[in-house]
Amino acid sequence: MEYRKLGRTKEKVSVIGMGCWGLALSRDGGEWAREIASLQRGIELGMNLIDTAEGYSSGRSEELVGEAVKDCRDDVFIATKVAPPHLHYDAVIRACQDSTKRLGVSFVDLYQIHWPDPGVPIKETMSAMEKLVQDGLVRYIGVSNFSVSETNDARAALAKNEIASNQVEYALTNGSVEADILPYCVREKITLMAYSPLAHGRIVPTPNDILQKYNMTPAQAMLNWVTRNERVVAIPKAANIRHQEENASSIVVRFSAADYEKMSVG
Ligand code: NAP
């Protein structure tokens, strides 16, 4: 596995992480165990970045992550998110406390604002985020689905901390962030965390000559392409352990610039 620095921090996160939206949809024992096994296999293969949210499966995704990492907490980097209804000061603090309880951890590594809410002053939300850092419940602050100007406002609202990452949709099928958010993140040394990097499972074909040259599957090629910029990490979701293994080995070789370009144009 390859690792990249998170934002301007010294923290190293795996270039391919594990998304947890859609995990723990039910409490069905077999399904739950299968999903935990997939996460644990990913950790074994070096995927230390795990992304969840208080809003995923009504908090059960965080519970499932907690169970998966209970014997290896120090080896993983847990990113979770506060939902838009909880962006006022007291609600942020409470939401984070609740997340740590569901995760069974004493702190989260990265706490992200899931979506911006223009109805709540960003200064108020960020004051709470900084209080969480000060109290040791959170190590780094991130945002998600923030435009360039919203990210600028979020940075200006922080007194002592920096925005480490912006989690946005980015895939071979949707490269819109390349117009503004990605160049901004590169310039400002903010990690761009690519969500839905496999287009929600709608894997698109890559020219056969490229797949054969690098011995990759189409899904692996999508992950390789989306992480070709050194500021990007991706968080595919894989409940299926075979998919997890495939994703973990998607960047063992890098494609040539010409092949990436060929993929970009389809
Ligand atoms: P995704 O990762 O693009 O796609 C997931 C789908 O791809 C699942 O159906 C999965 O199947 C399948 N898959 C995984 N690996 C595969 C492989 N090697 N070959 C073929 N199929 C494969 O979609 P996503 O869940 O929307 O996004 C990933 C993560 O991003 C989420 O889990 C969440 O953490 C984050 N996210 C964040 C936001 C936000 O607003 N911040 C929004 C959406 C998503 P199996 O599960 O059966 O393995």
Ligand 1 midpoint to CA 23 (Å): 10
Each as own residue / partner, the long-range contacts of residues 196-205 (CB below 8 Å, 24 or more positions apart, any chain) are 196/19, 196/169, 196/170, 196/171, 197/170, 197/171, 197/222, 197/223, 197/226, 197/234, 197/235, 197/236, 198/171, 198/222, 198/223, 198/236, 198/237, 199/171, 199/172, 199/173, 199/174, 202/173, 204/172, 204/173
266 confidence band (pLDDT: 50, 70, 90): low
Of the residues 195, 204, 232, 250, which should be mutated to test ligand 1's pocket, given the most ligand atoms within 8 Å of the CB?
Answer: 195
pLDDT of residue 27: 78
- Residue 56 is a catalytic residue: yes
Of the residues 20, 32, 198, which should be mutated to test ligand 1's pocket, given the most ligand atoms within 8 Å of the CB?
Answer: 198
Count of residues in the chain: 266
Ligand 1 midpoint to CA 246 (Å): 13
Averaged pLDDT score across all residues of the chain: 97
Of the residues 237, 240, 242, which should be mutated to test ligand 1's pocket, given the most ligand atoms within 8 Å of the CB?
Answer: 237
pLDDT of residue 26: 83
In ligand 1, the atom with minimum distance to the C-alpha of 223 is 18
- In angstroms, the CA 65 to CA 20 distance is 8
Kindly provide the b/e burial profile for residues 174-186, where b requires at least 16 CB atoms within 10 angstroms of the residue's own CB: eeebeeebbebbe
Q: pLDDT digit string (tens) for 222-236?
A: 999 999 999 999 999
pLDDT of residue 265: 77
Nearest CA to ligand 1 atom 14: 238
CA dihedral 94, 100, 106, 107 (to 10 degrees): -80
- Residue where the block lists tokens 């109290």: 135
Nearest CA to ligand 1 atom 27: 196
pLDDT of residue 135: 98
pTM above 0.85, yes or no: yes
214 confidence band (pLDDT: 50, 70, 90): very high
Question: How big is the CA angle at 43 (ends 4 and 114), to the nearest 5 degrees?
Answer: 65
Q: pLDDT digit string (tens) for 2-15?
A: 999 999 999 999 99
User: Is the minimum distance from the CB of 144 to ligand 1 under 6 angstroms?
Assistant: yes
200 confidence band (pLDDT: 50, 70, 90): very high
In ligand 1, the atom with minimum distance to the C-alpha of 52 is 34
